[in-house]
Structures are given as C-alpha cells and as structure tokens.
Amino acid sequence: MNKLSLGSVQFGLNYGIANQSGKAKPSEVKKILQLAKNSNVDLIDTAISYGDCEKIIGDIGIKGFKFVTKLPDLHKDCVDIESWVEGKVKSSLRHLGIQSLYGLLIHSSDNHLNNSGKKLINALNRMKLDGLVKKIGVSIYDPNECEQVMKLTRFDIVQAPLNIIDRRLIVSGWFSKLHSEEIEIHTRSVFLQGLLLMPRNKIPSKFNKWSNIWNQWANKLEKDNLDAVSVCLSYPLSLKGVSRVIVGVDNLKQFKNIILASKEKNKIEDLSFMISNDVKLINPFNWKTL
C-alpha cells in the first residue's frame, strides 16, 4: 500500500504560504487525480469546508479512490445534530459521486468538548452503522487534545500534524499510544504548508525570529546535496505507525516531484536542530498574527 494520501484543499481554495498559482484549475486537478491513480495513491483527503473541492472531484468522475472528508464546525444553535450530520454526509457522497466514505472526521476537536459533543459522536457512529461511512475519526491540532477526545469514543482515525519541525505527536507519547491501540494515524503538514520547501531567500520576513532554523536547514541541504521534498517525506514515511501521509499539491509538476521523492530510499538525517515547540511557528493558524 502506498502511504501517500492526496490532500485536496488546493482544489477548492487558494491555500498555502508557498502557493504561487492559487486554486488549481479543474483541468489540472484531473491530471493530478490520474497521476494519483497511476501511482497507487488511492486515498483522497478532503473536507466540506474546502470550497467546491468535493464537487470538482466528483465532476471529474475518476473512480477507484477512497475518500476521507471532514465535517464543518457545528453551530451552537443546531438542534437536530444527527440530521445535520446525515445531511452533510449525503451531500458529500452526492458531490463525490460515491456510495460511502472511507472516513468521516470531525474537523475540530472543539466540537467534542462542548455540550453537543456526545450527540455529535453518536451521529458519527450512526453513519457508520448505516454503512455511509466505514471509519470515524477526528482531526487534531495539538496532541494535548487527545486526552479529552479519546475518553469520549473509540475513534478509527486520528489526523494530526507531523513534520521535521513539529514532532509533538511523537514526543508527547500519543503517537505510540494511538498506534498500540491500532488507530490509523494520518499525518498532515509534512511540508508545513510549503514553508520547508521555500529557498532561504524566499522565506517571508515574518519568520525571521526562527532564522537559526532556516539557516541550518539551508546549509544542511546544500552541504549534503539533499532534496528538501525527499528529506521531509522520509521522516513520516519511515515511521511504522503512520498509516497515511497527506500531501497537498498546487499543480501536476509538484505532485510528480512528490511521487518520485517518496520512492527514494533515504537514510534518516539527524535534523534535531529543526525541532520546535513554538506554536507560533508550527501551527499555521497563528501565522496571521506574526
């Protein structure tokens, strides 16, 4: 099985700090999906909040993929949560042109921790019982969320950020725990929205606070003649407990490079100098405040 999973946010939104081309055109999306199919990348990660992404994929009509989608945030005034979830799921299935989802995730664990959390989880389990969804899960932003989330139900999938800078999932011990409980771990942000692939002189000045990291990273790549894409991918792909490594792409050329890089047998580099716990850096949600 190919561990790579195709992230699709760029198909529906203008996304990513290194994205120079904006939202991908449907013609480009079609080529990307065809390459995915030819390369045994059989899982597509999407979300209802990714603009018209699901509809664009469904209109292309390429079959044979598994899909994981994420629910949007639950409004506080939502009364009938089960009907709301069922409506969202059926809408996604209709847009994608499929009969069932491989995975349905809660996009934010905040939805668990409010008063509606139990009802929301019951609704997810109902979708599973009805055969509309094979697996249920949650997307987290910080491993600390696992403590509360895992008390509420038995999830099948946990999606979390993991890259050479952000190793909180490993260090916290939650990676080992999730793996030991046979929960699928889907990692995202392998390139930190493309920041890790930008040439040193192209990194925006608002990241100057971490110049030491960027300088050492650039020096390491140049000195050892390393490819940034290969090095970034080799870290999560080498971890036995990782089920999927989600990669988002802006265009076909980029995806070709990722496919090729993922096949390279790289020795794992010592990149401990890259590790940071600074949430202003490792969580892209905080970049707008820099």
- Given a contact cutoff of 8 angstroms between Cβ atoms, the answer to whether 165 and 274 are in contact is yes
State CA 13 to chain mean position distance: 15
pLDDT computed for residue 73 by the predictor? 83
pLDDT tens digits along 180-189? 999 999 999 9
pLDDT tens digits along 208-227? 999 999 999 999 999 999 99
pLDDT tens digits along 47-94? 888 888 999 999 998 888 999 999 988 777 778 899 999 999 999 999
Q: In sequence order, which ranges of 22-69 are alpha helices (DSSP H)?
A: 26-38, 53-60
For the chain, list the strands marked E by DSSP. 4-7, 43-45, 66-71, 101-106, 133-139, 157-161, 184-188, 242-248
Domains of the chain: 4-289 (3.20.20.100)
pLDDT over 90 percentage in the chain: 72
pLDDT computed for residue 163 by the predictor? 97
Whole-angstrom distance, CA of residue 7 vs CA of residue 65: 13
Question: What pTM, to 2 d.p., does this model score?
Answer: 0.93
pLDDT averaged over the chain?
90
Reply yes or no on whether the pLDDT at 20 is more than 60. no
pLDDT over 70 percentage in the chain: 93
Whole-angstrom distance, CA of residue 10 vs CA of residue 57: 12
pLDDT computed for residue 61 by the predictor? 81
Higher pLDDT, 287 or 267: 287
Local confidence band at 112 (pLDDT 50, 70, 90 cut-offs): low
Local confidence band at 19 (pLDDT 50, 70, 90 cut-offs): very low
